[in-house]
Amino acid sequence: MRALLGAAALCLALAAPAPAQEAERSHGLSAFGGLKYEEGFPHFDYVNPEAPKGGIWSGQPDAGPGTFDSFNPYIQKGAYAYGIMGDTSGSPYYDSLMVRALDEPDAMYGLVAEWAEVAPDRASVTFGLRREARFADGSPLTARDVVFSLDVLKEKGSILWRSILTDVTGAEALDDYTVRYTFRPGPHTRDLPMRVAGLPIFSAAWWEGRDFAESSLDIPLNSGPYEIGAFEQGRFISYRRRDDYWAKDLPVNVGRWNFDEIRIEYFRDRSAGFDAFKAGTFMFQEEFTSKTWATQYDFPAVSEGWVKLEVLPDGRPSGTQGFWLNMRRDKFSDPRVREAIALVFDFEWSNRTLFYDLYNRTDSFFEGGPMEAAGPPTEAELEILSPMLEMLPEGVLTDPAWVPPVTDGSGRLRRELRAAAQLLDEAGWTVVNGMRQNAKGEVLAIEFLDDSPSMERIALPFIDNLRKLGIDATSRVVDQAQMERRMDEYDYDVVVARFSMPPYPGVSLRGFFHSSSANQPGGYNLSGVKHPAVDVLVDRIIAAETLEELTAATMALDRVLRALHIWVPHWNKASHTIAYWDQFGRPEKPPYGRAVLDTWWVEPVKAEALAERLGN
C-alpha cells in the first residue's frame, strides 16, 4: 500500500496545473482541441436533413437471444429491454444535456443544454438549459430533474455507473434552468464535463415514491424522441416516434430519428433469429458470426436483390474481447499459468477453419486505435513507467509489448505446447498421472462458462489443447439467469466478454481495471485486476491534460496489462457486416458510430414494393 500511495503521489505531482484563464460559454464540449461545428450549425454533416419520416425499422438485439424484465437499463437488477439506453448516437428514449457528434472523437453539442461553461480550474461545469425542454407528458424538464438524475445514479445506479461518477461530487440547481456539477479536486476532471453532459435525464416527479433500484415493467416518463409502445416479454418491444417531441428541430436532431417505429424482436437462439430474418419477419441484421456470414447469406432474397449485404468501415477501436481469467481464484494467481493458457489458443487455426479468414488477431486492450502499445516502450512511456519499476511485471521496461504467438494454422502446436508446459512446471504445476497438480495435490481444472452454445465451437478446440498440457479443462453452458448471477458474484473460472473502448480512454477504465472495482459485485473488472501499477496508470490516463500525455499513459497501461496476462485475447475486424431488406435509404456512415437507428430512413416506394414481395 505504501508503494501504491507513493507512486500515486508521484503521478499527481507530474501533472502541472493549467494556467489561469477566463471561463467561456460554449455550444459544445471537447476534451482536446476545438469543435468542428460552429455555433448555429444547421445539422451534423453525416445526416440527410431532407430524410423522410415514416416506416418501421425492425431488428433483434445486438447482444443476441434473451428476454427482458425491466425498463431501467441503469441499475444492477434485471434484464433491460434493448434500445432504451441507446449507443454512441444517443438514447432514443432519454434526452441528455448534450449529444455526441459521430464524426469527431469526443465532441458533444447541446441538446437540453443551450450552453456549457467549464470553470478555469475544471473543478465544475455549468449548463444553461433550454426553457422549451419537456417530458413526454408536457411537464417542464428543469434543473431539478438534472440534479435528481445524477443523485439517483450515484446512489442506486449499477456498479459501472457509480464507478464512472465517482469523481462527480454533486450537482446543484442554481435556478430552474441552470445547473452546476462539481468534481472532486485533482487532475482527473478532463472527461467529467462530457461525462455528465451525456447522462440520461429522468423525471424527478415521476420517480417520487418509486424505487429506482428495482427492476420493473412500469413505463417510465421520458423526454426523448421515442416512447414505449406495445411489448411482450421474450418476444418483442416497440418504440413509437413522438410527433410532439420538443427537440425534433434542434441542429443536433435535424435529419435524425426518422422511423415512425423501432421494433426489437427477441428469439430463443441465433438460429431462430436468422430464420426469421430470412423470412422477412424483421428488416435489419448485423451479423456477428463469421461462419453464418460466410456460408448462409446465399438465400434467394439475396440473389434476387431484395436483401442487401454490406461491409461498413468502423473507425472506433475494436474493443477488448477475449477469454477473461478470474485471478480471484488461487490457481490463476501466477502470471506464468495465465500466459501458458494463452499460448495454446490457436487463433490462426480457428480463423482458417472456423472464421473463414474474416478476422485479425487482437493483442491489445486498445486494438485498432492510436493508443495501442507496440514494440519496446517509447521515451514518453519510459518517463511514466520508470519511477514505478518495483511495481512492474518483469521485462515491461525492456521487452516489446507482449503479443500472442502466431502459429502455422495447422492445428499442431508443438512449439507453443512446449513453452506452455515449461511455464506450468516453473509455476509448480507438474504432471502427475497425466494431470497437472500443485504441491497440495490439487488438479489444475478450468471451466469455461457461457450462456450460449455458439461459443463452444471456438472454446472446445482450445480446451483440447489445454488437455494436452494435463489441464482438466471443460465447458459449461448455463441459462441466462444463472449466468448473470455467477457473473455478478464472480463465480467462474473463464468467461467471454467484449468491452468497447472510446477513442480517448478515460474514467470508464476504472470500472474495468482499477483495484477499486475488483471486488464490487456485478462489476466489469472480470479478471479481478488489482495491481498498483495499473491503478497509477488508470489515474494518470484520467488526469491527462494533453493528447500526447493521454496517448503515452494509455500505451503504458496497455503494455502492463498485456504483461499481466489477465485474458486470452480473441479477434477483431474494423467493420460492421450488415444485411437488410431493401427498403432503406441512408447517408454516408460516420467514422465513430454505426448510426443506423438515428440516420437511416424508409424509402416509401421501396417499402411498397417489398411489402408486395413479402405478401404484407
Question: Hey, where are the domains in the chain?
Answer: 322-571
Cα dihedral sign, 390-395-401-402 = negative
Pick the CATH number of 322-571 from 3.40.140.10, 3.30.450.20, 3.90.220.20, 3.10.105.10: 3.10.105.10
Cell 513507467 sits at which residue? 385
Whether the predicted pLDDT of 20 surpasses 50? no
User: In this structure, are residues 571 and 67 in contact, taking their beta carbons and an 8 Å threshold?
Assistant: no
Q: What is the pLDDT of residue 3?
A: 34
Q: What is the pLDDT of residue 22?
A: 60
φ, ψ of residue 534 to 5 degrees: the values are -65, -45
Mean pLDDT, range 384-408, rounded to an integer: 95
pTM: 0.85
State residue 11's pLDDT score: 33
Average pLDDT over residues 79-106: 93
Residue 606 C-alpha cell reads as 421501396
Contact 283, 581 (CB under 8 A): yes
Least confident of 166-170, 231-235, 477-481, 489-493: 477-481
Q: What is the average pLDDT value for the chain, to the nearest integer?
A: 92
CB 384 within 8 A of CB 556: yes
| Average pLDDT estimate for 381-403 | 96
pLDDT at 12 over 60: no
Is pLDDT at 18 greater than 50 in this prediction?
A: no
From CA 46, how far away is CA 591, in angstroms rounded? Answer: 10
Residue 88: pLDDT band (50, 70, 90) is: confident
435 forms beta bridges with 432
**Distance (Å, rounded) from C-alpha 570 to C-alpha 346?**
10
Q: What is the residue type of 83? A: G
pLDDT score recorded for residue 65: 78
Looking at residue 164, what is its pLDDT?
85
Tens of pLDDT along 252-295?
999 999 999 999 999 988 889 999 999 999 999 999 888 999 99
The three three-digit cell numbers of residue 599, written as one number: 440516420
Of 455-459, 490-494, 532-536, the poorest mean pLDDT is in 455-459
For the record, the C-alpha cell of 153 comes out as 445514479
C-alpha cell, 318: 475494436
Q: How far apart are CA 551 and CA 32, in angstroms?
A: 12
Instruction: Report DSSP letters for 536-587, one per residue.
Output: HHHHHHHH--SHHHHHHHHHHHHHHHHHHT-EEE-EE-SEEEEEEES-EE--
Sequential DSSP letters for 130-190: PTT-B-TTSPBP-HHHHHHHHHHHHHHS-HHHHHHTTTEEEEEEEETTEEEEEE-SSS--S
| Under 8 Å between Cβ of 109 and 194 | no
pLDDT at 17: 37
139 burial class (0-12, 13-18, 19+ CB within 10 angstroms)? middle
Percentage of the chain lying above the pLDDT 90 cut: 82
Mean pLDDT on 459-468: 98
| Residues 62-78: tens digit of each pLDDT | 877 788 999 999 999 98
Question: What would the pLDDT profile of 325-366 be if each residue is shown by its tens digit?
Answer: 999 999 999 999 999 999 999 999 999 999 999 999 999 999
pLDDT band of 15, cuts 50, 70, 90: very low
- 494-515 tens-digit pLDDT: 999 999 888 889 888 999 999 9
314 grid coordinates: 468502423
457: Cα within 13 Å, side-chain hemisphere: 11
Torsion of CA 325, 330, 331, 334, to 10 degrees: 80
Residue type, 246: W
CA distances, 78 to each of 81, 152, 259, 360, 555 (Å) = 10, 17, 28, 35, 36
**Contacts (Cβ under 8 Å, ≥6 apart) of 195:** 164, 165, 168, 506, 507
Cell of 597: 437507428
Q: Write out the H or E segment, with its range, that includes residue 263.
A: strand 261-265
Evaluate the CA torsion angle 107, 113, 114, 117 in order and state its sign: negative
Among the listed residues 549, 18, 563, 13, the one whose alpha carbon sits nearest the alpha carbon of residue 335: 563
Higher pLDDT, 467 or 22: 467
**Paired sense of beta strands 472-477 and 261-265, if any:** unpaired
Interval 383-388 mean pLDDT: 96
CB-based contact 527:324 (threshold 8 Å): yes
Distance, CA of 210 to CA of 203 (rounded, Å): 12
Torsions phi, psi for 125 (to 5 deg): -140, 135
- Asked if the model's pLDDT at residue 21 lies above 90, the reply is no
Calculate mean pLDDT across residues 585-607.
95
